[in-house]
Structure 1
Amino acid sequence: MLEVSQRGHAMPLSPYRRLTPFADAAKQRGVQVHHLNIGQPDIETPPVMLAAVQQANIRVLEYSPTAGYPSYRRALARYYQQVGISVTPDDILVTAGGSEAIFFALMSCLNPGDELIIPEPFYGAYTAFAVATDVRIVPVTSHLADGFAPPLIEEFERRITPRTKAVLLCTPNNPTGYVYSRAELEQLKDLCVRHSLYLLSDEAYREFCYDGDYVSAMHLSGADDHIVILDTISKRYSACGARIGAFVTKNKALQQTAFKFAQMRVSPPGLAQVLAEAASELPDTYFDHTKAEYQARRDLMVSRLRAMPGVECPVPGGAFYVMARLPVDDCDTFCQWLLEEFSYHGQTVMLSPASGFYATKGLGKQEVRMAYVLNCEALGLALTCLEQALLVYPGREVPVPEAAFDQDR
């Protein structure tokens, strides 16, 4: 009898794509679905980057070098140097998106059965990468009431065992928007040095810090061999479909090991590197407008959510996500109900249930992640749908005024 693998059985569905069939069915019924479930910005990809591909004088689209085109790695090194990260092109391995950088990190730093400490809630795909690489996630829980600040360093230290090999963090954080301070990063760095652990730092959202300065793990001193930056252009330039990322470390042995895994997939996408390299032509002020736009969206989302009875959410300091507690019995059920049974003036909203962002079973049941990736007008419509849905959802936890029932189902 044919059977799929145990690894395949264990592989989770994406917490932000799991409900896509229900969204597709809603659209087939003529319902407009506002997507707040996934970090796909509506910000325009810089035309100069698209033009570089359109105007490329290429007769044969060959394999690129395994580590990426030298010209792009030089351009990327200059970019990092501009944000205070002192690396050379040889420290950079170009990857097929940030996802491949995460995969290379787990494959290169941990053995099957080893343990990886991650503050939760965390980026949902980390669970899938852990399953694929046979790595065990050891969560350290942060809480909405504390603004999802990381727990005390002693909580991290208590979870270290002989099988612990690395700590993985994301700053600015997906899904919480929390931005790690220099002091918090210094503590984690010291912990990793003290216990001979790798510090894997997912920094996909570094350009989008709203209430303070961005600090990279590579801004810290005395831990070069321990630190790996996992990066991507997806969010930085609103170029998610390019699938270009980077694995960055000064640890030569680790870089060489990741290179061998990179050879397995031969090369990163060639045309996408042409697109990414053209970002070097953007003015220094490029991020000013984008950052201001995201901050306006954040402020709109937080103010609207906090005005809804029973909803709780901290103010995220970066990235473009909000984690909120909703006054409902179960957010997995609620988010599916939004797509299957609810509409308001022919519209509904798609959210990501937060249970998929936790490793600890039972957590996140009343939380959702929302991405403020739509323009303010569309975002306002989406939040109105949510507001109306919370008034009529059968599993709601707050009293509802009688006038709330004038919606179309």
Structure 2
Amino acid sequence: MTRQLDASLMPDANGFFGPYGGQLVPPHLKQAMDDIAAAYDKIVQRQDFQDELAQLFADYVGRPSPIFHARRLSQQLGGAQIHLKREDLNHTGAHKINHCLGEALLAKFMGKTKVIAETGAGQHGVALATACALVGIPCEIHMGQVDIEKEHPNVTKMRILGCNLVAVTRGQATLKDAVDSAFEEYLKDPVNTIYAIGSVVGPHPFPKMVRDFQSIVGREAREQFQKKHGKLPDYVSACVGGGSNAMGIFTAFLDDEGVKLVGVEPAGEGIDKPGKHAATLSVGKPGEIHGMKCYVLENADGTPAAVHSIASGLDYPGVGPQHSYLKDIGRVQYEAVDDAECLNAFMTLSRVEGIIPALESSHAVAWAMRMAPTLGKDTNILVNLSGRGDKDADYVAKRLGI
């Protein structure tokens, strides 16, 4: 297995993680992407930027987020001990605020007059609207109509925060279509606007930039776990759609060969049912989407396939290029959890530990619940609980008849 895994070595100067990534954009947009890359490389070297971001993480977001030992859940399952990195306790309720603050500060540094973005479950939209309100930059969020109806609490928050919410009705009216719509709007004026991508996807430098901002999750978790237990966890798991929360926690553990890293994808209604899942790394193949090379779920004609997940934030036919690379070299194992198992994890964690998780995060919890009984009691599984389930509570209650 190739072991050049130091995050500082990836991507290369052209934005590639092995054969994945890059900058597959029209010539007139390449300059805009290069300008963002140059501004990012410049700003992260500035101590005043690092100090401001650290202060906001501490006093605005509430970092460091704690690690909670889910003792009752672990005891009920038998076997391994399950621990939760509580990103759900962050301001705005998820990990998304970590990179949104960085992107908003970058936009301000570059003198941009508007920030454009997509959102699926609404967590990126809420976090970006929050960050833009904080720094005083107008914000426009594109969201699929299906997700608007499903994630009403987050829609309300975005509107309260002052963003311009654009409903996307094309295609399946979900995350992929929201990305298309937001990107088209950005293309109209890439000089004065910036597209704040919500995951480790898209053209360079976004997979690198979002990963870097999210890497605080893993740095904290590694130090916290080692300090408390005198060793590292045996497993670290996180849900994967685009893959930002997973790259955030995985990055700090990439060189720890004794730590098994597990990304958990949405199997939806079954990975044997085309169009009814979004398990890109499990059954997809290398392709191109949204300005990057990565694993993609495609139709026979090469167009992106229809996808489905009960979790709106995982409903995407592509995946981050670094995840694609880590799959190929065998450093990260990718599993899939279906809607029913996800719902069971959602309800179980709520009723056994009093923690209502996001449906996205529930995929990683479900995998831990599946795995724990097969392992010894001295084995530790650390789950990145990437978000809380306030946004999903009404939907789940209606679906389950609660």
Q: Tell me the TM-score range normalised by the shorter chain.
A: 0.3 to 0.5
Per the normalisation by structure 1, the TM-score is 0.33
Q: Name the larger-Rg structure.
A: 1
More RCO (CA 8 Å, sep 6+): 1
Could you say which structure has the higher helix fraction?
Answer: 2
Per the normalisation by structure 2, the TM-score is 0.34
